[in-house]
Amino acid sequence: MPSTGIVKYHVKLSFDVDGLVEKADIIGAIFGQTEGLLGPEMNLNELQKVSKVGRIEVNTTATSTQTNGDALLPMSTDITTAALIAAAIESIDKVGPFVAHFKLEAIDDVRSAKKKEIVDRAKAIVQKWSTKTISEGEEMLKDVSEGGTGKLTTFGREKLACGSGVSDSPWIILVEGRADVINLLRAGFDNALAIEGARIDESIKELCNSKSKVVAFLDGDRAGGFILKELKAMVNIDVIHRAPEGVEVEELTPQQIADILKETAEDMKKETAKPILKDPKDEPIANMAKKVYENLNESLEAVALDDGLNELFKVPVSEVVGKLSTGSGIKYLVLDGIITQRLIDAARQAGIECVIGHRIANLKNTDGLVLKTFTDLGVA
């Protein structure tokens, strides 16, 4: 496509010709037999001159009597023009002297695919940045205490070092010392508790008994083996992880910690994946959201459903407010985005009953609408 054109759509067609033809014959038929059908403003030659249509790509395979293949037209027009061009090409019934049939296979929105690539890349950047090794010392302690995935705090009368998520997490990681807790915080785990050589009292035993899984993560030296024996004698250990031989947990990089704990963390996610609904009336909404979520997540789109859960439309989140109107029959609006006051105002006027999104902004008035997040419903 010329440098001035930005591809929006890929129009993909298949064809079969009852005879042996070349790529040039196919391209000639596309240009020649669509010329004048839709008016001069939609002539393919003219559209190419103004960078609205790119170079047409054709692939062919031939047998002894027939030619089959596919064609791709990159277009920077609106979707209506792309559809008209596709329909015009489908009307082609001959290539040279041979009978031919063209069929539209798809019109792909290149921008949607690019948006997903951008989101996936952004996630990869965040993951890499969050697990990147940072320098030791006071700067590290300051970073951990002031932000990140959790904070360094203490537990029990012995004031044992731990992550701020120890109480709320469904599982706990027992480590040897304060530096180990800090290192796990850097790797994104805020549910570690340091034994620090102290005798395990009843409060720690009760804490471990309240968890669905107790994990021991110890140094890869001889001392770590002795500590493990002591732990087993005092609490029930479900999973044991050790640093590589001769290496201490505090010496591991965040990525090494993430790799060692990956399987256990994934198992815990599966165990806690079932939705915990505060209100039984949420269950049908959660079931609906779960069905929609798989195809909607990371799409930056919104989908409208009627009372029978039939899809009424699906549009980019940026366009959804303009699509809402009175009498449209929308009952549920589910979006891959944030529920804003502007959206709520439009949804109320359209008679929508329930709006579901990833997050709810600070709202002044919800006007009785049911607002849920995917997390509330146990979907995400």
CA triple 374-372-165, angle to 5 deg: 60
| Domain edge (last residue) among 219, 246, 271 | 271
- Which amino acid is present at 192? A
Confidence of residue 139 (pLDDT cuts 50, 70, 90): very low
Whether residues 307 and 368 fall in one domain: yes
Give me the pLDDT at residue 67, please. 94
* Burial class for 261, CB neighbours closer than 10 Å (0-12, 13-18, 19+): buried
Query: Range with the lowest mean pLDDT among 125-139, 171-185, 318-332?
Result: 125-139
Which residue, among 71, 97, 92, 93, has the nearest Cα to 11 in the 3D structure?
Answer: 71
- Which amino acid is present at 63? T
The residues, any chain, with a CB within 8 Å of residue 283's CB and separated by 6 or more, are 275, 277
Q: Is 146 a residue whose pLDDT tops 70?
A: no
Q: Is 142 a residue whose pLDDT tops 70?
A: no
C-alpha to C-alpha distance for 357 and 234, rounded to whole angstroms: 45
Whether residues 215 and 297 fall in one domain: no
Considering the domain boundaries, does residue 246 fall inside one? yes
Considering the domain boundaries, does residue 380 fall inside one? no
Structure tokens at 106: 């798809």
Confidence of residue 224 (pLDDT cuts 50, 70, 90): confident
Highest mean pLDDT among 117-126, 137-146, 317-326: 317-326
Convert the pLDDT of each residue in 59-70 to its tens digit. 999 998 999 999
Q: Is 234 a residue whose pLDDT tops 80?
A: yes
| Domain edge (last residue) among 227, 243, 271 | 271
Which residue, among 372, 343, 346, has the nearest Cα to 359 in the 3D structure?
Answer: 372
Whether residues 143 and 267 fall in one domain: yes
Which is higher by pLDDT, 46 or 3? 46
Give me the pLDDT at residue 45, please. 87
Q: Is 357 a residue whose pLDDT tops 80?
A: yes
Give me the pLDDT at residue 132, please. 52
C-alpha to C-alpha distance for 307 and 286, rounded to whole angstroms: 15
Convert the pLDDT of each residue in 285-338 to its tens digit. 888 899 899 888 888 899 999 988 999 999 998 888 888 887 788 999 999 888
Considering the domain boundaries, does residue 167 fall inside one? yes
Confidence of residue 125 (pLDDT cuts 50, 70, 90): confident
Whether residues 75 and 174 fall in one domain: no
* Domain harbouring 333, CATH code: 3.40.140.20
Whether residues 29 and 80 fall in one domain: yes
Whether residues 210 and 254 fall in one domain: yes
Considering the domain boundaries, does residue 194 fall inside one? yes
Considering the domain boundaries, does residue 341 fall inside one? yes
* Domain harbouring 99, CATH code: 3.30.70.2690
| Domain edge (last residue) among 76, 111, 146 | 111
Helix ranges, 54-172 (H): 79-90, 110-130, 138-146
Give me the pLDDT at residue 230, please. 84
**Residues 13, 318, 323, 331, Cα dihedral to 10°:** 100
Q: Is 143 a residue whose pLDDT tops 50?
A: no
Whether residues 165 and 195 fall in one domain: yes
Which residue, among 219, 216, 217, has the nearest Cα to 248 in the 3D structure?
Answer: 219
Whether residues 36 and 154 fall in one domain: no
Whether residues 147 and 262 fall in one domain: yes
**Residues 303, 309, 312, 314, Cα dihedral to 10°:** 20
Domains of the chain: total: 3
Considering the domain boundaries, does residue 213 fall inside one? yes
Give me the pLDDT at residue 140, please. 47
C-alpha to C-alpha distance for 380 and 131, rounded to whole angstroms: 22
Considering the domain boundaries, does residue 315 fall inside one? yes
Confidence of residue 16 (pLDDT cuts 50, 70, 90): very high
Query: Range with the lowest mean pLDDT among 29-33, 48-52, 206-210?
Result: 206-210
- Rounded percentage of the chain residues whose pLDDT exceeds 70: 89
Whether residues 353 and 293 fall in one domain: yes
Instruction: HSE, CB side, 13 Å, CA atoms: give it for residue 243.
Output: 24
* Domain harbouring 180, CATH code: 3.40.1360.10
Query: Range with the lowest mean pLDDT among 134-148, 245-259, 323-337, 339-353?
Result: 134-148
Give me the pLDDT at residue 72, please. 95
Structure tokens at 97: 């002297």
C-alpha to C-alpha distance for 348 and 213, rounded to whole angstroms: 45
Give me the pLDDT at residue 281, please. 66
Whether residues 172 and 228 fall in one domain: yes
Average pLDDT for residues 3-17, to the nearest whole number?
83
Query: Range with the lowest mean pLDDT among 152-166, 220-234, 325-339, 360-374?
Result: 360-374
Considering the domain boundaries, does residue 171 fall inside one? yes
The residues, any chain, with a CB within 8 Å of residue 368's CB and separated by 6 or more, are none
Convert the pLDDT of each residue in 238-281 to its tens digit. 999 999 998 999 999 989 999 999 999 888 877 655 444 445 86
C-alpha to C-alpha distance for 337 and 357, rounded to whole angstroms: 6
Backbone angles phi, psi at 336, to 5 degrees: -90, 70
- Which amino acid is present at 362? N
CB 213 within 8 A of CB 170: yes
Range of the domain at 164: 138-271
Whether residues 159 and 88 fall in one domain: no
